[in-house]
Amino acid sequence: MNPEGKNADQILANPIIDHSSWHFFQAVSWADLAKRTQRPSALHYGAFELRYGIEYLLFEILVLSNRGLTEEEYRKCVGDPHAMKKMLHSSQVEYGKRVEFTRILLDLDTRAPKLRFWKLEELFKFWGIASELLHFVGAHSRTYGDGIWFVKCLARLESILDPLWVASTTTLGFGLLSKDTMQPEVQAAWEEFSAGTLKEEDLKIRMRIVQPILSERGRSRRAIQNMP
């Protein structure tokens, strides 16, 4: 579906999809409507969907990063950027290191799909910017009644919405290896990389050395699975 060219009723009627990218779709639709109509309310609706999408995206990252996430841990993070950031940076998750580790390994495979490697600091910055239009913005004479204010707010909204939307629509999924599915050699390399004792170039060399072993093991497993 194309998010552009819709009126308010059409935007509200968009079928709901249980994914963060659906909220980015809604945000793009509202931003486009705001641009075409110059209506401040559309800006606010776009900001709401954008922030909700970012929070949903962080929730998706948290679940993918921490398979053992408890209900109590989840509730502590909902709506609280500080708790969410703390959890994602914690030793049990180590999201940033795992994303970097995944990126390095996929760079070695020319057949690897194009995936999304989200930067946490960037997402939390976007969260703050998206929140600006969700609070009182000042007297109408200095905001809604000022064309320059409108143009600046729309530009600021689109400056963070556009990269999120492009990443969501031009890649196939999250770039994040699960520790539970790592081969023993990969798991050992991850533990050293996580501890800071294995640098990027050394990791690449090691993975190139063990690649034939991993490939052969994968072929053997597939052959066994296909046996009658």
pLDDT digit string (tens) for 176-197?
A: 888 878 888 999 999 999 999 9
Closest CA to 186 of 205, 212, 216, 214: 214
Same domain, 108 and 209: no
The answer to whether the beta carbons of residues 54 and 164 sit under 8 Å apart is yes
pLDDT score for 161 = 97
What one-letter code names the amino acid at 103? Answer: R
Q: Is 130 exposed, middle or buried (0-12, 13-18, 19+ CB in 10 A)?
A: buried
pLDDT score for 212 = 85
pTM here is 0.86
pLDDT band of residue 219 (cuts 50, 70, 90) is low
3-class secondary structure, 174: strand
Q: Is there a domain that residue 194 lies in? A: yes
Distance separating alpha carbons of residues 225 and 90, to the nearest angstrom: 37
The answer to whether the beta carbons of residues 47 and 31 sit under 8 Å apart is no
Query: Which of 5-19, 66-80, 116-130, 200-214 bottoms out in mean pLDDT, i.e. has the lowest?
Result: 66-80
Distance separating alpha carbons of residues 164 and 45, to the nearest angstrom: 17
Q: Is there a domain that residue 48 lies in? A: yes
Q: Is there a domain that residue 195 lies in? A: yes
How much of the chain is in helix, strand and coil states, percent to nearest 5? 70, 0, 30
Distance separating alpha carbons of residues 145 and 53, to the nearest angstrom: 29
Distance separating alpha carbons of residues 42 and 75, to the nearest angstrom: 30
pLDDT band of residue 67 (cuts 50, 70, 90) is confident
Same domain, 77 and 166: yes
Same domain, 58 and 103: yes
Same domain, 170 and 189: no
174 phi and psi angles, rounded to 5 deg: -75, 140
Same domain, 220 and 145: no
> By residue range, what is the domain housing residue 216?
182-228
Same domain, 23 and 124: yes
Same domain, 49 and 149: yes
If you search the block for the tokens 């962080």, which residue do you land on? 58
pLDDT score for 227 = 46
Same domain, 146 and 220: no
